[in-house]
Amino acid sequence: MIRLHHCHQTRSMRVLWLLHELGVEFELEIHPFDKSLRAEGYLALNPAGRVPALEIDGEVWWESGAIIELLCDRFPEAGLGRAAGEAERADWLIWLHFAETISQHLAALTQQHLMLYDDEMRSPVLMKLEAARVGKCFAALEARLTGRDYLLDSGFSAADVAVGQAVYMAQKFVRLAPFPALSAWWDRLARRAGFQASLPPEGADLLYKREFYAPW
């Protein structure tokens, strides 16, 4: 039995997307993005009070990067991981965890734009700085993807899922248009059935109410 605990428009989406790509059966439990994640029952699944948490065969896994590695190890036949000893193992791990580099800047932007309700609490300098840092991440991806269809030479992998989810969220704050290779890669990912299946359903209560949040 596999059960994913998920909030829309959060890092747990990368695990949801991967589960669809793996083609395995799973249950989905959707939580509101609120203080209920700090309730005693949920803290027993993820002591940080965050999503994702993945119940699998009597175990509980948390931290999205770790879950992705573990799922790829559990289902190697899908070909989405790169095992120890394989030539692309290092590149796979580096790009897989680059998703968190992007996401840390997104977390700061989300706090500034969404969580701080009073304009006096927001920092225009910080908002512009973090958006510029996301732009630098996009530039790094542009360099990697120039001449490649996916992050690894061998093709699509879970690294594309992890980074793809971060780029999906990052587009709330930074435009892709100046990065043609990154834009083409994103278009390929966005057409995948696994990505489409991981999107919030119509009418879902979303964290981000706007399509784009410009720097102050």
Question: What would the two tokens of residue 32 be?
Answer: 């509101």
Q: What is the tally of structural domains in the chain? A: 2
Same domain, 101 and 151: yes
Q: What is the pLDDT of residues 147-194, one digit of tens each?
A: 999 999 999 999 999 999 999 999 999 999 999 999 999 999 999 999
pLDDT given at position 187 = 98
At residue 73, the pLDDT reads 97
**CA pair distance 77, 175, nearest whole angstrom:** 36
Query: Residue 27: beta bridge partners?
Result: 3
Averaged pLDDT for residues 51-71: 97
In a domain, 108, yes or no: yes
For residue 216, tell me if it sits in a domain. Answer: no
Cα–Cα distance measured from residue 186 to residue 189, given in angstroms and rounded to the nearest whole number: 5
120 and 39 within one domain: no
Same domain, 70 and 127: no
Q: Are 16 and 95 found together in one domain? A: no
pLDDT value, residue 119: 76
Same domain, 95 and 184: yes
Do 97 and 34 reside in the same domain of the chain? no
How high is the pLDDT of residue 89? 98
Taking only the tens place, the pLDDT of each residue in 80-132 is: 999 999 999 999 999 999 999 999 999 999 989 877 777 778 888 899 999 99
On whether both 73 and 109 belong to a single domain, the answer is no
The string of DSSP letters for 114-143 reads II--SGGG--HHHHHHHHHHHHHHHHHHHH
pLDDT score for 176: 97
Q: How many CA atoms lie within 13 A of 30 on its CB side?
A: 10
Residue 143 has pLDDT above 90, yes or no: yes
Amino acid at site 52: P
Q: Which of 53, 78, 103 is the last residue of a domain?
A: 78
**53: domain CATH number?**
3.40.30.10
* Domain presence at residue 202: no
Q: CA nearest 190: which of 215, 210, 168?
A: 168
- Shared domain for 44 and 109, answered yes or no, is no
Q: Residue 11: pLDDT above 80?
A: yes
Q: Is the pLDDT of residue 216 over 80?
A: no
70 shares a domain with 154? no
Question: 71 is written with which tokens?
Answer: 């799922």
DSSP code of residue 36: G
Domain carrying residue 167:
89-192
pLDDT at 104: 96
Assess whether 30 and 74 both reside in one domain.
yes
Q: What is the CATH number of the domain that holds 166?
A: 1.20.1050.10
Out of 22, 56, 78, pick the residue that ends a domain: 78
User: Based on the domain organization, do 120 and 43 belong to the same domain?
Assistant: no
- Helix 158-170 × helix 12-22 angle, to 10°: 140
Does residue 101 sit within a domain?
yes
Task: Give domain status of residue 212, yes or no.
Answer: no
Same domain, 101 and 170: yes
Name, in order, each residue with C-beta under 8 angstroms of 143's C-beta and a sequence gap of 6 or more. none
